[in-house]
Amino acid sequence: MHTVTQSEISSLPSSGAVAARGADAGVSAARAYRFADLSAYPFKKRWLIRAADLAFYTMIHAVGRTTRYTVEGWENFEAVARDGKIPIYTSWHSSVFLATYFWRRRGIVVMTSRSFDGEYIARFIQRFGFGAARGSSTRGGPGALVEMVRLMRAGCPAGFTIDGPRGPRHVAKMGAVLLAKKTGHPVLPFAVDAARRYEVPSWDRMQIPLPFTRVCVRIAAPIYVPPDADATTLAAKCEELQRALNNINE
């Protein structure tokens, strides 16, 4: 266990092709890191998307700069990099505020919904160096999963809030496990907890850290899924992911 300063976070070793924006990554990878065209939205919604985008980015950036991090299990992250693999970062939806700041500028592609809410979320995470694959478990999920497979093969890490977008809370879904099967890259479960925080009275009880708080990041051992995994094996791997997330969030 060690404490990580803000300057050290930016220099932590990368996990694969962090900036998949060049010609080698292809058109689809470059598109994931660009703001989407908003012309299909009416003027009011375009204005609200841009306003929400900037508001969330400013809040996360301002609070994140004041926090100090303690990391447990960093050797699990290093094991993935040592094996030449790219992590599929996986956490509960309640950790999204702090996870966005801690894993910033790493080129992680996450799934966002094809909706008004999904669009402003995509934009503010892109400001932190994330990519967005449009779709969710309820709207366009299969297409977005195919896109994430394509992006990982181009060298982009992936990320899941595995009980999103609308729950049930703290129940792992299959998306990260399926992506691991299709790509050969491991699921890397992690938890982020702030010592002092406000919990939003929403389905996920999202954590909003208070300024100058201490934050603990716990990283579990990577979970590999065989490329020939059948339904039984996939279910067992999803249960393994559930247990890992339960353990590091206790």
Query: Over the stretch 164-222, which tens digit does the pLDDT of each residue have?
Result: 778 899 999 999 999 999 999 999 999 999 999 999 999 999 999 999 999 999 999 99
Separation CA 127–CA 97 (nearest Å): 14
3-state DSSP assignment of residue 171 = coil
Count of C-beta atoms within a 10 Å radius of residue 41: 15
Question: CATH number of the domain that 240 lies in?
Answer: 3.40.1130
Is 43 among the domain residues? Answer: yes
Is 239 among the domain residues? Answer: yes
Is 213 among the domain residues? Answer: yes
Per-residue tokens: 154: 């181009």
Is 235 among the domain residues? Answer: yes
Is 3 among the domain residues? Answer: no
Any residues with CB less than 8 A from the CB of 144 and at least 6 apart, and which?
111, 133, 134, 135, 136
Is 12 among the domain residues? Answer: no
Whole domain around residue 213: which residue ranges? 21-249
Is 216 among the domain residues? Answer: yes
* CA distances (Å), origin 58, targets 40, 84, 128: 26, 35, 11
Domains of the chain: total: 1
Is 6 among the domain residues? Answer: no
| pLDDT one-digit tens code per residue, 126-150 | 999 999 987 654 554 567 788 899 9
Written as one letter, the residue type at 144 is: A
Q: Using omega within 30 degrees of 0 as the cis cutoff, is the peptide bond preceding 165 cis? A: yes
Predicted TM-score (pTM) of this structure:
0.88
